[in-house]
């Protein structure tokens, strides 16, 4: 039995067979295949090699045709290497003799050959070692690509164990067969984690390396409440699993009954609880859970997992579906937050992947540099908004100039629509996400120009503490409870209040029941959260008084360390509502 602890990102307790996804990264896990599957694995290797050879032959022809025969020759050398029967036999032997997976056998055999070539002290042969490594990457990427394709074609329930899943892959997980997933990489607020919550698939991320030695098919228990994954559990663990699952179900049932009640404190202050959504279908989840509206619609997911950009009509259909489901309640549509980890296939060329993509061309920056893309979306929003309470929000605003340019683009689009005689909504509220520390420093100036603020703590924490939100090795630094984060939030709330600008928090911090009393105590009266946590947050808010919340906030603000803030908030939550906690 192997027990791993990671970051709990989507609740639920499940058990099922493992479906293991490797990565084509430099480090390949030492995985074995069952004796009965060895022939199949050998075939898989040869099929991958065949495809790689065809690819290289294609490159050779193209290079010879466009650049001249001497360039084509470069690929001929690669092709000879890929077709070397001794090399292929060495890999086949490792699969047959040691039951290694095709990925692992290819990885070690090709690494070994590259090393041999380098050790001969001949510069020409050392160059050839680079070709061997290139071949390794191609073969692994083929093998891995196949695994990933298999993920889309599941026919029975599994628990997916992967090094990482991209937001696009997660968005396409089949809920019928994926009982849960666990990844070695990822952090609490990575987009993969957020999607797990949206899709309501139990998930644990940031487990660190553990896929070594797994061959798939092992029994797995995944507890998305406490962030635990158990491989090949013993009797006692199985028993405990059944208890946790029963407990989880009974708490979930009790919480369900709260959906219809208002999120009102004991002393009668109404807190507006909005939902965060990524897909139009989630609008219904918001209503079922008793949300007061949609506080963050991450529209970029319309682009992910597609080969072609959505048309204006695709945008229009999606937005119309959401606003009509919300039936008069407010809907905050965030304009595209593409870039960084959210790059659709159609945009690979457009987005330069620099060394630090989260500091690169993403979000509003990308929209402002690609006006046709931005305007297509804005046209659809303005058309879909007629007769509804739709608000537009720009992501990742860093400077006043960006906000003004983005707002001006809306005015341009309205003018275009008017000239074309296309009906559109007018006078929509226009706000911004506050998720870049520079925007917090300029918050008073922004407050004079915006209709509302929404604090995006997921990115704000990442940029303020210089800690990647998806990197488990800095998860200790990445904390919503860090005193610096509390001060940044306080500053935004004070400026918003002083200027009568509505303010909300839509980062994952507000979906964590521990932080809700603190946020209310800091003066927030609106938050936007993952829909499935709404009943739980109602339970917390309905136990709270504003005086309590203010005491909690003032005490939390007095600590110097994140861990003291978090353990204090934890103990306050337990006192407040012990019955509902999972």
Write the DSSP string, 247-264: HHHHHHHHHHTTTTS--B
Residues in contact with ligand PEP, shown as a per-residue x/- string from 192 to 221 under the rule CB under 6 A = --x---------------------------
Span interacting with Mg ion, options 38-46, 145-153, 292-300, 453-461, rule CB under 5 A? 453-461
The listed partner (Mg ion, ligand PEP, none) that binds 536, CB under 5 to 8 Å by sort, is none
Of the candidates 559, 560, 563, the one whose C-alpha atom is nearest the C-alpha of residue 476 is 563
Out of 507, 517, 531, 535, name the contact with ligand PEP by CB under 6 A.
507
Cβ-contact 148, 166 below 8 angstroms: no
Please tell me the count of residues contacting Mg ion according to CB under 5 A: 3
Helix (H) or strand (E) run with residue 287 in it? helix 282-288
Using rule CB under 6 A, residue 456 touches ligand PEP:
yes
Q: Which of 136, 289, 298, 391 binds ligand PEP (CB under 6 A)?
A: 298
Q: Choose the binding region for ligand PEP from 44-52, 111-119, 323-331, 457-465 (rule: CB under 6 A).
A: 457-465
The DSSP code sequence of 377-428 is HHHHHHHHTTTS-EEEEESS--SHHHHHHHHHHHHHHHHHHHHHT-----S-
C-beta of 243: minimal distance to ligand PEP in Å? 34
Strands 228-231 and 219-223: antiparallel
Name which of 392, 552, 531 is nearest 481 in CA terms.
Answer: 552
Tracing tokens 């022809």 back to the chain, one arrives at: 61
CB neighbourhood size of 521 (10 A): 21
Q: How far is the CB of 335 from ligand PEP (least distance, A)?
A: 12
Nearer to ligand PEP, 18 or 194 (CB): 194
Does 272 bind ligand PEP (CB under 6 A)? Our answer is: no
Stretch that binds ligand PEP, among 71-79, 199-207, 219-227, 451-459 (CB under 6 A): 451-459
Interaction of residue 458 with ligand PEP, rule CB under 6 A: yes
Q: How far is the CB of 443 from ligand PEP (least distance, A)?
A: 16
Interface positions, 365-404, toward Mg ion (CB under 5 A): none
User: Least CB distance from residue 435 to Mg ion, whole Å?
Assistant: 5
Is 459 among the residues that bind ligand PEP (CB under 6 A)?
yes
Q: At its nearest, how many Å lie between Mg ion and the CB of residue 168?
A: 17
* Binding-site partner at residue 298 among ligand PEP, Mg ion, none, CB < 5 to 8 Å by type: ligand PEP
Q: Which does 195 bind (CB under 5 to 8 A by kind): ligand PEP, Mg ion, none?
A: none
Question: Which residue's CB is nearer to ligand PEP, number 142 or number 298?
Answer: 298
Looking at the Cβ atoms of 113 and 367, the one nearer to Mg ion is 367
Site for ligand PEP contains 457 (CB under 6 A): yes
DSSP state of 329: S
Considering the complex, state which of residue 139 and residue 396 has its C-beta at the smaller distance from ligand PEP: 396
448 DSSP 8-state letter: T
Q: Applying CB under 6 A, which of residues 109, 366, 506, 553 lies at the interface with ligand PEP?
A: 506
Is residue 378 within 8 A of residue 335, CB to CB? The reply is yes
Query: Of these partners, Mg ion, ligand PEP, none, which one is at the site of residue 513 (CB under 5 to 8 Å by kind)?
Result: none
**Residue 482, burial from CB neighbour count under 10 angstroms (0-12, 13-18, 19+):** buried
d(CA 431, CA 223): 38
Within 252-325, strands assigned E span 272-277, 294-298
Closest CA to 461 of 451, 469, 453, 472: 469
- Between 132 and 397, whose beta carbon lies closer to Mg ion? 397
C-alpha span between 202 and 180 (Å, rounded) = 5
Question: In terms of C-beta density within 10 A (0-12 exposed, 13-18 middle, 19 or more buried), how is residue 472 classed?
Answer: buried
24 lines the binding site for Mg ion (CB under 5 A): no
Of the residues 78, 188, 191, 388, only one is catalytic, namely 191
Q: Does 344 bind ligand PEP (CB under 6 A)?
A: no
By C-alpha distance, which of 383, 291, 299 is closest to 333? 299
The CB-of-190 to Mg ion minimum distance in angstroms stands at 11
Cα–Cα distance between 139 and 504 in angstroms, integer?
48
Q: Whole-number minimum distance, CB 264 to ligand PEP, in Å?
A: 25
Q: Clarify whether 352 is annotated catalytic.
A: no
Q: Which of 22, 167, 431, 456 binds Mg ion (CB under 5 A)?
A: 456
Phi, psi at residue 308, to the nearest 5°?
-120, 145
Query: Binding partner of residue 457 among ligand PEP, Mg ion, none, CB under 5 to 8 Å per kind?
Result: ligand PEP
275 binds, among Mg ion, ligand PEP, none (CB under 5 to 8 A by kind): none
Alpha-carbon distance of 124 to 472, in angstroms, equals 41
Among 286, 388, 424, 506, the active-site one is 506
Which C-beta is closer to ligand PEP: that of 228 or that of 459? 459
**CB atoms closer than 10 angstroms to residue 116:** 12
Shorter beta-carbon distance to Mg ion: residue 41 or 337: 337
- Smallest distance from the beta carbon of 203 to ligand PEP, in angstroms? 16
482 binds ligand PEP (CB under 6 A): no
What span, in angstroms and rounded, lies between the C-alpha atoms of 167 and 469?
A: 14
Q: Is there binding between residue 459 and Mg ion (CB under 5 A)?
A: yes
Nearest distance in Å: CB 575, ligand PEP:
28
Q: How far apart (Å, rounded) are the C-alpha atoms in residues 444 and 449?
A: 9
191 catalytic per annotation = yes
Closer to ligand PEP at the Cβ: 159 or 506?
506
By the rule CB under 6 A, 435 interacts with ligand PEP: yes
- For residue 444, report the phi and psi dihedrals to the nearest 5 degrees: -65, -40
Q: Cβ(470)–Cβ(186) under 8 Å? A: yes
CA distance 392 to 380: 12
Catalytic residues, by residue number, are 191, 506
Binding footprint of ligand PEP on the chain (CB under 6 A): 194, 296, 298, 337, 435, 456-459, 506-507
Binding footprint of Mg ion on the chain (CB under 5 A): 435, 456, 459
């Amino acid at each position: 039995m192997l027990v791993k602890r990671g970051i709990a990102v989507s609740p639920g307790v499940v058990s099922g067979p493992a479906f293991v996804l490797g990565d084509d990264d430099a480090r390949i896990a030492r995985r074995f295949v069952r004796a009965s599957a060895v022939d199949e694995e050998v075939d898989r290797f040869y099929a991958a090699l065949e495809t790689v050879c065809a690819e290289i032959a294609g490159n050779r022809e193209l290079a010879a045709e466009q650049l001249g025969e001497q360039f084509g020759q470069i690929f001929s050398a690669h092709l000879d290497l890929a077709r070397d029967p001794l090399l292929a036999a060495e890999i086949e032997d490792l699969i047959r003799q040691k039951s290694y997976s095709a990925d692992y056998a290819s990885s070690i055999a090709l690494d070994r050959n590259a090393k041999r070539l380098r050790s001969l002290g001949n510069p020409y042969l050392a160059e050839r070692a680079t070709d061997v490594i290139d071949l390794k990457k191609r073969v692994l990427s083929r093998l891995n690509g196949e695994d990933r394709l298999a993920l889309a074609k599941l026919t029975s329930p599994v628990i997916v164990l992967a090094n990482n899943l991209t937001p696009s892959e997660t968005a396409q997980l089949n809920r019928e067969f994926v009982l849960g997933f666990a990844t070695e990489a990822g952090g609490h607020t990575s987009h993969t984690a957020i999607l797990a919550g949206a899709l309501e698939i139990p998930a644990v991320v940031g487990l660190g390396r553990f896929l070594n030695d797994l061959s798939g098919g092992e029994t797995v228990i995944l507890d998305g409440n406490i962030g635990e994954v158990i491989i090949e559990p013993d009797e006692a663990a199985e028993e405990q699993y059944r208890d946790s699952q029963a407990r989880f179900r009974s708490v979930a049932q009790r919480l369900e009954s709260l959906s219809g009640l208002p999120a009102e404190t004991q002393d009668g202050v109404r807190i507006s609880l909005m939902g965060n959504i990524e897909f139009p279908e989630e609008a219904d989840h918001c209503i079922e859970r008793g949300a007061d509206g949609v506080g963050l619609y991450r529209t970029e997911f319309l682009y992910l997992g597609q080969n072609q950009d959505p048309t204006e009509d695709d945008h229009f259909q999606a937005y119309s579906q959401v606003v009509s489901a919300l039936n008069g309640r407010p809907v905050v549509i965030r304009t595209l937050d593409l870039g960084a980890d959210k790059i659709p296939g159609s945009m690979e060329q457009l987005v330069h992947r620099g060394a630090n993509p989260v500091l690169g061309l993403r979000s509003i920056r990308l929209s402002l540099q690609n006006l046709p893309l931005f305007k297509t979306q804005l046209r659809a929003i303005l058309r879909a908004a007629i007769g509804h309470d739709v608000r537009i929000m720009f992501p990742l605003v860093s400077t006043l100039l960006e906000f003004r340019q983005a707002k001006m683009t809306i005015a341009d689009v309205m003018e275009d629509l008017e000239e074309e005689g296309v009906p559109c909504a007018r006078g929509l509220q226009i706000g911004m996400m506050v998720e870049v520390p520079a925007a917090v420093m300029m918050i008073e100036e922004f407050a004079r120009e915006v209709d509302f603020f929404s604090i995006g703590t997921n990115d704000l924490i990442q940029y303020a503490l210089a800690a990647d939100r998806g990197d488990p090795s800095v998860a200790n630094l990445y904390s919503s409870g860090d005193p610096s984060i509390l001060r940044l939030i306080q500053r935004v709330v004070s400026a918003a209040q002083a200027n009568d600008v509505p303010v909300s928090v839509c980062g994952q911090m507000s979906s964590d029941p521990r932080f809700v009393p603190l946020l209310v105590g800091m003066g927030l009266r609106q938050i936007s959260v993952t829909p499935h946590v709404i009943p739980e947050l109602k339970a917390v808010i309905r136990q709270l008084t504003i005086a309590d919340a203010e005491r909690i906030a003032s005490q939390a603000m007095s600590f110097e360390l994140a861990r003291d803030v978090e353990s204090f908030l934890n103990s306050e939550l337990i006192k407040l509502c012990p019955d509902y906690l999972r």
